Amino acid sequence: MYKEVLQSIEGIERYPVISLVIFFLFFVVLLYLVLRSDKGWLHHMAQLPLNDPELSKENQESEDPIHG
Amino acid sequence: MALETFRYDNRVVRKFAVATVTWGIIGFLVGLTIAIKLFAPKFLGYIPELTFGRLRPLHTNAVIFAFAGNAIFLGVYYSLPRLLKTPMYSKLLSNINFWGWQLIIVGAVITLPLGFTTSKEYAELEWPIDIAIAVVWIIFGWNMIASILKRREKHLYVAIWFYLATFITVAVLHVVNSLEIPVTLFKSYPIYAGVQDALVQWWYGHNAVAFFLTTPFLGIMYYFIPKASNRPIYSYRLSIIHFWALIFIYIWAGPHHLLYTALPWWAQSLGTVFSIMLIAPSWGGMLNGLLTLRGAWDTVRESPVLKFLVVGVTAYGMATFEGPMMSLKNVNAITHYTDYVIGHVHTGALLWNGGLSFAILYFIIPKIYDTELWSKKLANYHFWFATLGALFYVIPMYFAGITEGLMWKEFTPQGFLLYPNFLETVRQVIPMYMIRAFGGTMFITGAVLMVINLYKTARQGTFVPEVEDSAYPLVKKAEARGTTPFHRWLESKPVMFSTLTLIAILIGGLVEFLPTALIKSNVPTIASVKPYTPLELQGRDIYIREGCNNCHSQMIRPFRSETERYGEYSKPGEFVYDHPFLWGSKRTGPDLQRVGGKYPDSWHFMHMKDPTSTSPGSIMPAFTWLYTQNLDTSTTEAKIRVMQDLGVPYPQGYDKVANADLEKQAASIANDLKTNGFDADKNKEIIAVIAYLQRLGTDIKASEHKTASTGNSRSGSATTAGMN
């Protein structure tokens, strides 16, 4: 049954190839961007939850390369 | 540039905390009630509003949308302003979000026990409430996005991406799965039928787990683990990969809920493949959370908040490994429709969603009351009650599930089913149901300890309605795209970020949808499959009202063990007029796809009144009210017309004569029963239910009968021989 359904869609043979390409590119680009990202920025981001008025002073004064 | 001071609102945070605790306790108690009903069916008597079929959706909706839902809002309304360095955009919207959500829950608490249900799992609420959900959800998103736009912190922390993805995806899922045409104020038919309806429903159902019970809680994890342990997240790089991989892959995996059903096999395989791939981002996320605590495990011993977070995240890891394993077809063949699924779900629900919700309650309440937790010791007791309670819940369910799966498939050496009577397999797992209820009781006991502890904490502290903070305003100087790394740039562009998220989640949905949407015109329709008669249609709606689909499937998988027990396996073409589909996901009772004609009307008449009269030891509730309530035929015309609008080929003008047909069929069934000595009244609801049950699966039986005479019978099942 499923074969009949699939065969009746025009150009069905291209679908899996397109999916594979989308998929592959998505992860390659993602990995590339992540590996290339700036260390200082990553550090700044990771500190974000720790900067708020309800925490002790020393945390707020952690070195922050973006906001100084 | 002047430092600006501003105030975070703790009032709405407190409201959501109270709601989380209240609905949590109610949701757990409803769960315990139905757990008890499974081994003591007479518990609470046979009150229509309190039957298993009506309370089970109430339990799932209460714990998902009321308990976990309020916990999500609690986490978001606490962490989002603090991460953005701005109060929420509008207190009015925050309050509409809060009160609107509670009203929706109250609506669910009233309508579900009354039997107003669409039958679609985790989307049971009827159309007026669906609209209310959409409105309140958009207000939540509006409030969140508007807050993001007036933030003082340029970059959006990973928790906020998860919150955004939650908002966007749940909105899409809810709208697409709730497309329905109203018949009356509390009755509607979905625009999809059969296979399509099933695919849409499980695309929704699976992704409701993904984007309501996973992504917002991951956001909570990424904020509260660093917060509670006072350390930054282990790897921010990993969190970027975690986020994009998770939302990109999750959306594809829905069809694993429909393995071996009448769904096209390519879609099933796609679901399996993506489910296996999901292990990677899920475990990446789990490890990122746990490794944050490296070198600080001693703090876990001291802090109940961290204990709940650690066990919660570990349970997330267990459940997200188990899920993909259950998506393997050979494993699924044994676990599907069994209590194994219930065990799997509760690993996630009790420890991951429950654990994280408890953790943030223990974290936030002392903070907003400017005090310490009243009793750490009591919180530790809660932790052990919750953890052990969950184990006492989950392990018996795994045991029961595998027992059921194997017993259903067991053959004698002669090739007959070893347990042809379904009840034998039910009786076998009743002790497991009892232990499960014990586990549930432990879990609830722990939660009650938490209520006491939080109340005492609030009493000893003073509520801080607003917290002051200060930050520099955001400089409106766009970072030039060319010089900034892409992801860093992207995180300063919330709208672009949201758009990319939307695209990521839509790709998977579309790839699954496009070919399936074409099915309608491509499925070789089965000539003998005809629309339901008006009486059968009314009976089907009573079947939906009573929630029969919570315990009975209507989907025979192509295994010899199933075709032997239930008859010919289900074909996609059989469901073309099923608005909604009623395939079910659990067999507490046997499959009913081919129950039509299997027993005489009198059997059903006795069975529904007192199930043990025909099936000794049955745990099915007695549906005594079907014998006293008159069938409401005033809706027949409207129902037929809506069905016609949906493409069901009733003849033109049939709505006007439908009730005459209904009367005729009802009279014939009642007369048949009377001649057999039963006191049957043709106006009662039971007659419609019997008409529907006797119709089930007979369209195919008729054509099978025809081919049998030409010697071609069972050609379908021959191709599946050996797949038992």
Confidence of residue B9 (pLDDT cuts 50, 70, 90): very high
* A16 to chain B: closest CA residue: B511
Question: Is B524 in the A-facing interface, judged by CB distances under 8 Å?
Answer: yes
CA nearest neighbour of B439 among B376, B309, B347: B347
Residue B474, pLDDT > 50, answer yes
Q: Are residues A32 and A44 in the same domain?
A: no
Residue B476, pLDDT > 70, answer no
Residue B75, pLDDT > 80, answer yes
Question: Is B520 in the A-facing interface, judged by CB distances under 8 Å?
Answer: no
* A59 to chain B: closest CA residue: B230
DSSP string, B458-500: HHHS---SEEEEEEPPPP--PPPTTTS-HHHHHTT-HHHHHHH
Residue B478, pLDDT > 60, answer no
Residue B27, pLDDT > 50, answer yes
**List of chain A residues whose C-beta atoms are within 8 Å of the C-beta of residue B515:** 5-6, 9, 12, 15
Which residues 35-54 of B are in CB contact (within 8 Å) with A? none
Interface test with A, best of B163, B503, B522 (most A CBs within 10 A): B522
Please answer yes or no on whether B230 and A50 come within 8 Å at the CB atom: yes
Question: Is A64 in the B-facing interface, judged by CB distances under 8 Å?
Answer: no
pLDDT value at residue B701: 65
User: Which residues does B545 contact at the CB level (< 8 Å), separation at least 6?
Assistant: B115, B116, B117
Tokens of residue B115, six digits: 């039997």
Please answer yes or no on whether B515 and A5 come within 8 Å at the CB atom: yes
Residue B468: which of A26, A31, A53 has the nearest Cβ?
A53
Confidence of residue A54 (pLDDT cuts 50, 70, 90): low
Q: Are residues A3 and A32 in the same domain?
A: yes
Confidence of residue A64 (pLDDT cuts 50, 70, 90): very low
- Residue listed under structure tokens 């672009």: B496
Which residues 260-289 of B are in CB contact (within 8 Å) with A? 264-266
This prediction has a pTM of 0.91
Which residues 533-572 of B are in CB contact (within 8 Å) with A? 571-572
Convert the pLDDT of each residue in B318-350 to its tens digit: 999 999 999 999 999 999 999 999 999 999 999
Q: Are residues A10 and A32 in the same domain?
A: yes
Residue B196, pLDDT > 90, answer no
Q: How many CA atoms lie within 13 A of B721 on its CB side?
A: 6
Q: Are residues A31 and A19 in the same domain?
A: yes
pLDDT value at residue A62: 43
Confidence of residue A24 (pLDDT cuts 50, 70, 90): confident
Q: Are residues A29 and A55 in the same domain?
A: no
**List of chain B residues whose C-beta atoms are within 8 Å of the C-beta of residue A35:** 237
Q: Which H or E element spans position B179?
A: none
**List of chain A residues whose C-beta atoms are within 8 Å of the C-beta of residue B248:** 26
Q: Round to whole Å and give the CA distance between B387 and B351.
A: 7
Q: Is beta strand B187-190 parallel, antiparallel or unpaired with respect to B4-9?
A: unpaired
**List of chain A residues whose C-beta atoms are within 8 Å of the C-beta of residue B487:** 33-34, 37
Helix, coil or strand: residue B630: strand
Q: What is the mean pLDDT of chain B?
A: 91
Residue A12, pLDDT > 70, answer no
DSSP string, B352-416: IIHHHHHHHHHHHHHHHTTS--S-HHHHHHHHHHHHHHHHHHHHHHHHHHHHHHHHHH-B-TTSS
Confidence of residue B269 (pLDDT cuts 50, 70, 90): confident
CA nearest neighbour of B388 among B337, B439, B435: B439
Please answer yes or no on whether B511 and A30 come within 8 Å at the CB atom: no
Interface test with B, best of A8, A34, A59 (most B CBs within 10 A): A34
Question: Is A9 in the B-facing interface, judged by CB distances under 8 Å?
Answer: yes
- Choice among B430-444, B606-620, B710-724 with the minimum mean pLDDT: B710-724
Convert the pLDDT of each residue in B166-183 to its tens digit: 999 999 999 988 999 999
**Three-class HEC string of B277-320:** HCHHHHHHHHHHHHHCCCCCHHHHHHCHHHHHHHHHHHHHHHHH
Which residues 154-183 of B are in CB contact (within 8 Å) with A? 154-155, 157-159
* Cα-to-chain-centroid distance, residue B342: 11
Question: Is A21 in the B-facing interface, judged by CB distances under 8 Å?
Answer: no
In chain B, what percentage of residues exceed pLDDT 70? 94
* B522 to chain A: closest CA residue: A5
Class of residue B555 by CB neighbours under 10 A (exposed 0-12, middle 13-18, buried 19+): buried
**List of chain A residues whose C-beta atoms are within 8 Å of the C-beta of residue B264:** 1-2, 5-6
Q: Are residues A18 and A45 in the same domain?
A: no
Q: Are residues A28 and A57 in the same domain?
A: no
Q: Are B300 and B306 in contact (CB under 8 A)?
A: yes
Query: How close is the nearest chain B Cα to the Cα of A50, in Å?
Result: 6
Convert the pLDDT of each residue in B686-701 to its tens digit: 999 999 999 999 987 6
In chain B, what percentage of residues exceed pLDDT 90? 79
Per DSSP, B620 falls in state P
Q: Are residues A43 and A32 in the same domain?
A: no
Convert the pLDDT of each residue in B80-117 to its tens digit: 999 999 999 999 999 999 999 999 999 999 999 999 99
Q: What is the mean pLDDT of chain A?
A: 71
| Type of residue numbered B487 | H
User: Which residues does B271 contact at the CB level (< 8 Å), separation at least 6?
Assistant: B252, B253, B254, B255, B256, B257, B258, B259, B327
Residue A27, pLDDT > 80, answer yes
Please answer yes or no on whether B485 and A46 come within 8 Å at the CB atom: no
Question: Is A37 in the B-facing interface, judged by CB distances under 8 Å?
Answer: yes
Q: Are residues A31 and A47 in the same domain?
A: no
Domain, as residue range, for A60 = 39-68
Q: Are residues A14 and A27 in the same domain?
A: yes
Residue B133, pLDDT > 90, answer yes
Give the total number of structural domains in chain A: 2
pLDDT value at residue A1: 45
Convert the pLDDT of each residue in B522-577 to its tens digit: 455 787 889 999 999 999 999 999 999 999 999 999 999 999 999 999 988 899 89
* A15 to chain B: closest CA residue: B511
Give all domains of chain B, ordered by start, each with its CATH number: 13-465+504-511 (1.20.210.10), 534-711 (1.10.760.10)
Query: How close is the nearest chain B Cα to the Cα of A53, in Å?
Result: 6
Convert the pLDDT of each residue in B198-256 to its tens digit: 888 988 998 888 999 999 999 999 999 999 999 999 999 999 999 999 988 888 888 88
Q: Is the peptide bond before B431 cis (omega within 30 degrees of 0)?
A: no
- Higher-confidence residue of B118 and B194: namely B118
B599 torsion bin: left (phi>0), alpha (psi -120 to 50), beta (else):
beta
User: Which residues does B720 contact at the CB level (< 8 Å), separation at least 6?
Assistant: B558, B559, B560, B563, B569
Interval B44-53 mean pLDDT: 93
Q: Round to whole Å and give the CA distance between B336 and B67.
A: 27
Query: How close is the nearest chain A Cα to the Cα of B619, in Å?
Result: 38
Q: Are residues A7 and A30 in the same domain?
A: yes
Confidence of residue B592 (pLDDT cuts 50, 70, 90): very high
Which residues 352-381 of B are in CB contact (within 8 Å) with A? 367
Convert the pLDDT of each residue in B601-646 to its tens digit: 999 999 999 999 999 999 999 999 999 999 999 999 999 999 999 9
Interval B659-674 mean pLDDT: 96
Convert the pLDDT of each residue in B496-509 to its tens digit: 888 888 888 887 77
Confidence of residue B520 (pLDDT cuts 50, 70, 90): low
Please answer yes or no on whether A45 and B241 come within 8 Å at the CB atom: no
Helix, coil or strand: residue B103: helix
Residue B48, pLDDT > 50, answer yes
Query: Distances in Å between the alpha carbon of B586 and those of B35, B525, B555?
Result: 14, 28, 11
Helix, coil or strand: residue B8: strand
Q: Are residues A61 and A31 in the same domain?
A: no
